[in-house]
Chains A and B, each alone.
Chain A
Amino acid sequence: MAPPVTVNTINPKVIECEYAVRGEIVILAQKLQDEIKIKLEAHPFEEILYCNIGNPQSLGQQPITFFREVLALCDHPPLLDKSETQGLFSKDSIQRARKILDQIPGRATGAYSHSQGIKGLRDTIAAGIEARDGFPADPNDIFLTDGASPAVHMMMQLLIRSEKDGILCPIPQYPLYSASIALHGGTLVPYYLDEATGWGLEVSDLKKQLEAAKSKGIDVRALVVINPGNPTGQVLAEENQKEIVKFCKEEGLVLLADEVYQENVYVRKKKFHSFKKVSRSMGYDEKDIHLVSFQSVSKGYYGECGKRGGYMEITGFGADVREHIYKLASVNLCSNISGQILASLVMSPPKAGDESYESYISERDGILSSLARRAKTLEDAFNKLEGVTCNKAEGAMYLFPRINLPEKAIKAAGEAKTAPDAFYCRRLLTETGIVFVPGSGFRQVPGTWHFRCTILPQEEKIPAVVTRLTDFHKRFMNEFRD
């Protein structure tokens, strides 16, 4: 008798979903890395350069000192009673830790909290949202989660009843969305970002895709917008955002606004505006639009991926629905407390006049300006490659260049039974140690090929990345030129 849990008998939705960011290419990279550890000459490179995942601190980015000071004090409150602590921690970090501990019932950072997160921390986050947007935020609308991803899953769970329920997603998209929709048994309804106009979002395309889905019997329930974009990096213009909000209102769609890169904007002419702010500035309130906004501690200039901190702010839902959202959150009891504290710090960092302000600003701006430089350097490098065009990374942490692969290469890929962009990425990896994620992992206009590269390797490693990539690309094109 076949055992109960085999690939033939597990939930088929599990089989169907995919997540390329840690997929095949990355698994191979780890294998090669292990081989180099054993024998340095095993491959034509000495180290793997991971450019596949938005994981800044794994590549040497330093955490913000003030945040870590506060977290360490909250992790071990007896430190606050010791006189030596004054000499090791900044005064304002001690103050902030005391304030946070006072907001936690019993000062117990090891206890399950309220399932939406500690109330005092939600108050801080709501105040931070209000300071950012100029419009009020209600702490009861906030659900703190282990990173933004579980919050996305929760919304998909709520929205998807069957494969007849569709969710509009940008193509290219961050594959959490396609994976989550598949896992919950729904249908992804694609809308195409326009590469020729810097990955612009046309509401006319949204309308077109919505109508097409409806005619196929799909009930389209929500629209996902990632702003700044991943993998595409565009920052939406405010006018564009207004059109999107109006579209959601008219069509009765829930707007799922993934805003985790809100602090990663590298071009002076663009600014991040939250969808909440845009909606309210249009005079739309809770009655007019269902909006869920996602934020995380993993990106920005803080890059605290390993902490798993984040939240969703839900507005425009009736009390009965909110009860069910709360109930779902309560099954997991609560998100990790340290991540909750960090989310509150991210939304209310040191202010002018605070002891840590100067060093905080210097750390923050150092990281952001370095990211902007790396984005430019890599963008220029990609644009110099034969057959490659690359849009500017206005924000986020990625570049998503397009590669026009010669027919010969496409044929070779077919013979190797891989997608052409995966074929390129695999060769790149085995010859240079550089890890990109093939564009097919993010979806793209059929017949076009891309790959995603992060801008995260340390600045001193970037020249090596550029040189190795350039040399490899020349060789590859020479080999496969038509």
Chain B
Amino acid sequence: MGVKALDYESLNENVKEVQYAVRGELYLRASELQKEGKKIIFTNVGNPHALGQKPLTFPRQVIALCQAPFLLDDPNVGQLFPADAIARARHYLSLTPGGLGAYSDSRGLPGIRKEVAEFIERRDGYSSDPELIFLTDGASKGVMQILNCIIRGQGDGVLVPVPQYPLYSATISLYGGSLVPYYLEESANWGLDVNNLRESVAQARFNGITVRAMVIINPGNPTGQCLSEANLREVLNFCHRENLVLLGDEVYQQNIYQDERPFISSRKVLMDMGQPISKEVQLVSFHTVSKGYWGECGQRGGYFEMTNIPPKTVDEIYKISSISLSPNVPAQIFMGLMVNPPKAGDISYEQYVRESKGILESLRRRARMMTDGFNSCKNVVCNFTEGAMYSFPQIRLPPKAIEASKNAGKVPDVFYCLKLLEATGISTVPGSGFGQKEGVFHLRTTILPAEEDMPEIMSSFKKFNDEFMEQYEAVKI
């Protein structure tokens, strides 16, 4: 008998080509070492609760009540749960005929989509249509769904920032499209230059690619930059001129660590720009419960909002959603709670504010600590983390280190990160996993380790790095 259907040779080539470094080689090696008993500090993924961040109390109280509605019938429930959590649980249960165990509308529960629309309206000052908001099992599923609609074949290109979060490169690979890179300017704080966009599009078209969409990640991952309003206007004008659908990955919109550039949504800027552009540019915006100060990654809750997408296309997107029946209901409730948190006067309000502020202020401090810590290291240059959850220092590897990595059969930043891992237990993701300019190396780490652990982590890194640099600079050429 010849080759069997799931032998390696006969796998879908697109699958073979997919790369997702966030849980790739470094992570697997770190897991191995952990099994052997080594203490590992996982900074490879934006996974706050895994590094000790606590869930916010109020949402967990509400969801527990929704999960076990028999509690609501018990006269003693008030001893375990505050009255506003009880009321909110009743509210969400009233929105779901059948409770948490029934498939909802394939777009998500109408009542919760309405809450999301109201949140968007409060945030941006423009009304939002719940019918154009689809809840998904995490924002990633939404991104994959939309890209699947856009990519018809290899001839279709999607503009993606470099460096980027590798969900985009992986998905474009999987669906057989073409990734059209546009480079962010490291020397300008990872700024987005429209000239780079123009160049990339021209190059792609020259190669016969039809550029269909543009991804922006704002705040950026792994780079953390927050786009200015002017920048967003340039991008929207660009998309309008070049006939691109803009995919606005805004999952880190609540993670802002400087005051010069607060978060402003792509949709708000688009609406501010008025007609005709506000009615013509196609935009899909993504958000999640996994980031911000909630960090509820394990719930898998997200949504996308469509702007200026024609009704027939929305129908097709709905059809795809319906094949998976519905997003998970508990996460939908998390989303409702996130966009509609306790208000001033509610019993749980002060606790909610205290917990949230505590997390956000700590993240801001850790962003600063990490940036400064990296900048104090030999041959390391690090832009400030303006937003999101990561630090993306540039590691200037000496020529002899690059040579050594080649001899070891490893990409230079992978080589460095593996050595870092083995020496210190710090598990990062090499910059090559995100894309970078040729010959320039980085690594991505999160700013999520506990604040009290940060000084030790940074000094441990500095010790390793400075010794590494000395070792490879001292080698006689």
The yes or no verdict on A and B being binding partners is yes
Residues on A facing B (Cβ under 8 Å): 1-7, 9-12, 14-15, 17-19, 21-23, 53, 55-60, 63, 65, 68-69, 71-73, 75-76, 78-79, 82, 84-85, 87-88, 105-106, 108-113, 115, 146-147, 149-150, 157-161, 176, 179-180, 183, 221-222, 252-254, 290, 298, 303-308, 316-318, 320-321, 324, 327-328, 330-339
**When chains A and B are docked, how far (Å) is the Cα of A99 from the Cα of B103?**
29
**When chains A and B are docked, how far (Å) is the Cα of A192 from the Cα of B23?**
42
Q: Is B171 interfacial (CB-CB < 8 Å)?
A: yes
**A73 neighbours in B (Cβ, 8 Å):** 64
**When chains A and B are docked, how far (Å) is the Cα of A158 from the Cα of B17?**
12
**When chains A and B are docked, how far (Å) is the Cα of A350 from the Cα of B99?**
23
Q: Is B102 interfacial (CB-CB < 8 Å)?
A: yes
**Given A84-B80, A157-B15, A306-B329, A150 and B297 touching (CB < 8 A)?**
no
Q: Return the chain B residue nearest A55 by Cβ.
A: B103
**Given A4-B244, A5-B150, A55-B103, A308 and B327 touching (CB < 8 A)?**
yes
Q: Are B171's CB and A331's CB within 8 A? A: yes
**When chains A and B are docked, how far (Å) is the Cα of A5 from the Cα of B244?**
9
Q: Are B324's CB and A68's CB within 8 A? A: no
Q: Is B16 interfacial (CB-CB < 8 Å)?
A: yes
Q: How far is the CB of B255 from chain A (nearest CB, A)?
A: 16
Q: Return the chain A residue nearest B56 by Cβ.
A: A110
- The A/B interface has a contact count, at CB < 8 Å, of 294
**When chains A and B are docked, how far (Å) is the Cα of A85 from the Cα of B77?**
9
Q: Are B323's CB and A176's CB within 8 A? A: yes
**B313 neighbours in A (Cβ, 8 Å):** 5-7, 10
Q: Is B312 interfacial (CB-CB < 8 Å)?
A: yes
8 interchain pairs (CB within 8 A)? A4-B244, A10-B149, A22-B322, A75-B60, A106-B50, A252-B3, A330-B24, A332-B140
**When chains A and B are docked, how far (Å) is the Cα of A24 from the Cα of B69?**
34
Chain B, residues 43-73, CB within 8 Å of chain A (1/0): the string is 0010111101001010011011101111100
**When chains A and B are docked, how far (Å) is the Cα of A88 from the Cα of B295?**
29
**When chains A and B are docked, how far (Å) is the Cα of A439 from the Cα of B38?**
58
**Given A150-B324, A158-B6, A254-B6, A333 and B45 touching (CB < 8 A)?**
yes
Q: Are A160's CB and B300's CB within 8 A? A: no
**When chains A and B are docked, how far (Å) is the Cα of A323 from the Cα of B31?**
15
**B45 neighbours in A (Cβ, 8 Å):** 112, 333
Q: How far is the CB of B252 from chain A (nearest CB, A)?
A: 16
**Given A6-B310, A68-B67, A157 and B174 touching (CB < 8 A)?**
yes
**Given A69-B68, A306-B101, A112 and B20 touching (CB < 8 A)?**
no
Q: Are B243's CB and A1's CB within 8 A? A: yes
Q: Are A305's CB and B325's CB within 8 A? A: yes
**When chains A and B are docked, how far (Å) is the Cα of A334 from the Cα of B141?**
11
The bracket for how many chain B residues form the interface is 35 or more
Q: How far is the CB of A350 from chain B (nearest CB, A)?
A: 16
Q: Are B299's CB and A110's CB within 8 A? A: yes
Q: Are A331's CB and B18's CB within 8 A? A: yes
Q: Is B354 interfacial (CB-CB < 8 Å)?
A: no
Q: How far is the CB of A353 from chain B (nearest CB, A)?
A: 23
Q: How far is the CB of A92 from chain B (nearest CB, A)?
A: 15
Q: How far is the CB of B68 from chain A (nearest CB, A)?
A: 4
**Given A57-B101, A111-B50, A305-B325, A146 and B20 touching (CB < 8 A)?**
no
Known: A11-B152, A308-B327, A335-B300. 14 other contacts (CB 8 A): A14-B320, A53-B325, A59-B98, A71-B68, A72-B65, A108-B298, A112-B290, A113-B298, A149-B324, A298-B103, A303-B101, A306-B101, A327-B15, A331-B171
